Amino acid sequence: MVKVTFPDGSVKEFEQGISAIEIAKSISPRLAKEVLACSINNEVKDLTTTITEDCTFKLHKWEDAEAKHTFWHSSAHLMAEALQALYPGIKFGIGPAIESGFYYDVDMPEGKVITDSDLVKVENKMREIASAKSEIVREDISKADALSLFESKDEVYKIELINELEDGTITLYKQGAFVDLCKGPHLPDVGGIKAIKLLSIAGAYWRGDEKRKQLTRIYGITFPKKKMLDEYLELLEEAKKRDHRKIGKELELFTFSQSVGQGLPLWLPKGAALRERLENFLKKVQKAYGYDQVITPHIGQKELWVTSGHYAKYGQDSFQPIHTPAEGEEYLLKPMNCPHHCEIYKFKPRSYKDLPVRLAEFGTVYRYEQSGELHGLTRVRSFTQDDAHIYCRPDQLKDEFMKVMDIILYIFKTLDFQNFETQISLRDPNNKEKYIGSDENWEKAEAAIVESCKEKGIEATVELGEAAFYGPKLDFMVKDALGRRWQLGTIQVDYNLPERFELEYIGSDDQRHRPVMIHRAPFGSMERFVAVLIEHTAGKFPLWLTPQQVVVLPISERFNEYAEKVSKVLNNSDIRAEIDDRNEKIGRKIRDNEVKHVPFMLIVGEQEAENESVSVRRQGEGDKGVMSVNDFISFINNEVKKELE
């Protein structure tokens, strides 16, 4: 007999060699039907796994991530079987489950191409195979046998994978006519895969290496029930409605022009107004934290980036130098603001008493991003960083680092970004020559970040090898409408630029010392931030960010004069008011949500004109009653204040 401990702590005894699915059946037949995977000693396993010794045990239903993962992994195998049937000679790469669904990388037979229109055919084949409910069988195999099996099929990618595996750890999973190298776990059979949707086709380099062959990646998602698939597809549709590119166009916030160039956003008046408000908000916060605004040019001599080390690393893949009539003179569009700020730091001798120096600038930078990588406002070639560089003494580093975290957390809270993730990026310990700077400095900087997070109670994931080449960093990531992660706020510690630019301060010992530098951008860039803000709010910005706040509507021409008076008073406060001509069908647009940036409508007529008041309506909330114009101003200010708190 074996003792099996369940998640609630209870222990039951079973015959040795009982399978997980049999345990589920012993609890209830319905559970056995719904269960998809199990964890034995906290390791996810097949339901067909037999239990030979005492263990902890948990069954996973669809709700558990482990179950979804298993379900989608088996779905990838099902798709592979269908592809094999439809395209003989197809070769397989890898086919894992992902956050939502799964993919399989395949190498199509010579001369064959798969396109979107073929996906339905593959789906149908998958359904056909699934309905046969063939079992998925696991098999342990020796390395030699595995090699000869896949060599006989000329599966070059699988062979490459097997060669990297240890003998004795290799397993196969078979279902129907398909066999795959796979460590599992999988469903007991493919019959449960009922609702199938293949989503898209993409190219993907074998093993993520752009020098190697590009395989065809097919993405799909499956569910145990059709209703769940329908709900998921509807969710995708809803997310598309929040796409910042769509809303940005509708609300006339920004646009792109082929004539201006790829990835070069043009901010329209309303978008510029929104951006200006965000900038002013941040400026105010930064002022309170002791930052000084500076302004620097968009170009600088090439030597500036040779000194910083950026030219050596990125020069070839950037906008190329600007030449002047002078022989040999070269300027670069600035890809970052750091060197300019370093020169500001150097403009006069600094005392230890002056530190920290905090130089802030909404600095527009230019980076020649790969064309395929451009995406709406989230990835562009010209963007404005809410940049600042902090120069401080080593003993001030942690304190300054934490103050920056405070700013970022305050901003995220004010804008109601709750689901952000934080990531600490450290260097790859096995590849230290990729980075510039001494070991000692790197270790100090990395420790400062890890400790700061700990003290702020922030649970950050740690990624090795993700650091910038000059220092470690802490990033704040937010997901867009479709669940893609974008990095917004960033804080980076840098011991290298102060070295390269020979920055100094005079210490209390009357000796020269090297300051530490922190790069930081709470929004990241105005472009990306606005994009993510649009998707989070679905275009319904907080009142204090709204480009236009009020429409004044006279109920007949007779009251135009009074409407003008009202809007004048409002415009003298910081509320923006527009008079609505009655022929403009703005009312219907607001009602139908076609216009999202006019949260208030003021109706003025005889009564209002007589007692100098306005009738107030708030979008989505209806009548707010009649009030004097001054009361309305303080009403809005109160609402704004509430949102800012």
Partner RNA sequence: GCCGACGUAGCUCAGUGGUAGAGCGCAUCCUUGGUAAGGAUGAGGUCACGAGUUCAACUCUCGUCGUUGGCUCCA
Active-site annotation holds for 385 = yes
Active-site annotation holds for 341 = no
**CA–CA separation, 73 vs 351, rounded Å?**
61
Chain centroid to CA 401: how far? 23
Segment 267 to 286, residues that bind RNA, using CB under 7 A = none
Q: What interhelical angle do 560-572 and 629-644 show, nearest 10?
A: 40
Assess 420 for contact with RNA (CB under 7 A): no
Task: Rule CB under 7 A: choose which of 10, 258, 419, 611 binds RNA.
Answer: 258
> Which residues pair with residue 203 across a beta bridge?
216
> Which residues pair with residue 173 across a beta bridge?
138, 180
Q: Kindly state the greatest CA–CA separation across the chain.
A: 96
Q: Which is nearer to RNA, 281 or 368 (CB)?
A: 368
Segment 319 to 348, residues that bind RNA, using CB under 7 A = 335-336, 338
Minimum distance, C-beta of residue 453 to RNA, in the bound complex (Å): 19
Cβ contacts of 537 within 8 Å, gap of 6 or more: none
Assess 583 for contact with RNA (CB under 7 A): yes
Assess 619 for contact with RNA (CB under 7 A): yes
Neighbours of 167 (CB within 10 A): 11
x/- binding map, residues 514-533, to RNA, per CB under 7 A?
-----x--------------
The DSSP secondary structure of 354-403, one letter per residue, reads TPPEEEEEEEEEE----GGG-BTTTB-SEEEEEEEEEEE-GGGHHHHHHH
Cβ contacts of 119 within 8 Å, gap of 6 or more: 198, 201, 218
Assess 482 for contact with RNA (CB under 7 A): yes
Chain centroid to CA 233: how far? 21
Minimum distance, C-beta of residue 104 to RNA, in the bound complex (Å): 12
Range in contact with RNA (rule: CB under 7 A) among 38-46, 199-207, 355-363, 499-507:
199-207
- What element of type H or E holds 602? strand 600-604
Range in contact with RNA (rule: CB under 7 A) among 158-166, 283-291, 348-356, 590-598:
590-598
Task: Rule CB under 7 A: choose which of 1, 120, 202, 464 binds RNA.
Answer: 202
Segment 450 to 479, residues that bind RNA, using CB under 7 A = 468-469
Minimum distance, C-beta of residue 352 to RNA, in the bound complex (Å): 27
Assess 370 for contact with RNA (CB under 7 A): yes
Active-site annotation holds for 217 = no
Active-site annotation holds for 473 = yes
Segment 283 to 322, residues that bind RNA, using CB under 7 A = 310, 314, 317-318
Q: Which is nearer to RNA, 146 or 552 (CB)?
A: 552
Minimum distance, C-beta of residue 204 to RNA, in the bound complex (Å): 4
Active-site annotation holds for 338 = yes
Minimum distance, C-beta of residue 255 to RNA, in the bound complex (Å): 9
Active-site annotation holds for 213 = no
Task: Rule CB under 7 A: choose which of 30, 241, 346, 585 binds RNA.
Answer: 585
Task: Rule CB under 7 A: choose which of 96, 109, 203, 269 binds RNA.
Answer: 203
User: Which of the residues 379, 381, 393, 519 is marked catalytic?
Assistant: 519
Minimum distance, C-beta of residue 358 to RNA, in the bound complex (Å): 18
Number of H helices and E strands in the chain, helices first, is 20, 35
- What element of type H or E holds 138? strand 137-140
Range in contact with RNA (rule: CB under 7 A) among 140-148, 150-158, 208-216, 390-398:
208-216
**CA–CA separation, 172 vs 184, rounded Å?**
8
**CA–CA separation, 13 vs 2, rounded Å?**
6
Task: Rule CB under 7 A: choose which of 33, 226, 241, 249 binds RNA.
Answer: 249
Assess 556 for contact with RNA (CB under 7 A): yes
∠ CA 637-523-540, nearest 5°, is 45
Query: For residue 306, which of 344, 332, 274, 271 has the smallest C-alpha distance?
Result: 332
Cis before 185 (ω within 30) = yes
Tell me the site size for RNA, rule CB under 7 A: 77
Minimum distance, C-beta of residue 40 to RNA, in the bound complex (Å): 31
Q: Which is nearer to RNA, 174 or 624 (CB)?
A: 624
Assess 607 for contact with RNA (CB under 7 A): yes
- What element of type H or E holds 37? strand 37-40
Assess 611 for contact with RNA (CB under 7 A): no
Assess 241 for contact with RNA (CB under 7 A): no
Assess 615 for contact with RNA (CB under 7 A): yes
Minimum distance, C-beta of residue 484 to RNA, in the bound complex (Å): 6
> Which residues pair with residue 330 across a beta bridge?
323
**CA–CA separation, 532 vs 488, rounded Å?**
9
Minimum distance, C-beta of residue 223 to RNA, in the bound complex (Å): 19
Helix (H, G, I), strand (E, B) or coil at 39: strand
Assess 266 for contact with RNA (CB under 7 A): no
Minimum distance, C-beta of residue 22 to RNA, in the bound complex (Å): 39
Q: Which is nearer to RNA, 536 or 617 (CB)?
A: 617
Task: Rule CB under 7 A: choose which of 55, 201, 268, 569 binds RNA.
Answer: 201
H-only helix segments in 251-366: 269-288, 302-308, 310-314, 338-345
The contacts found for 79-83 with CB under 8 angstroms, 24 or more apart, are 79/104, 79/122, 79/126, 79/198, 79/218, 79/220, 80/104, 80/106, 80/178, 80/180, 81/126, 81/129, 81/175, 81/176, 81/177, 81/178, 82/122, 82/125, 82/126, 82/128, 82/129, 83/122, 83/218
User: Which of the residues 46, 387, 480, 580 is marked catalytic?
Assistant: 387
Active-site annotation holds for 277 = no
Neighbours of 205 (CB within 10 A): 15
Which residues belong to the active site?
A: 338, 367, 385, 387, 389, 473, 519
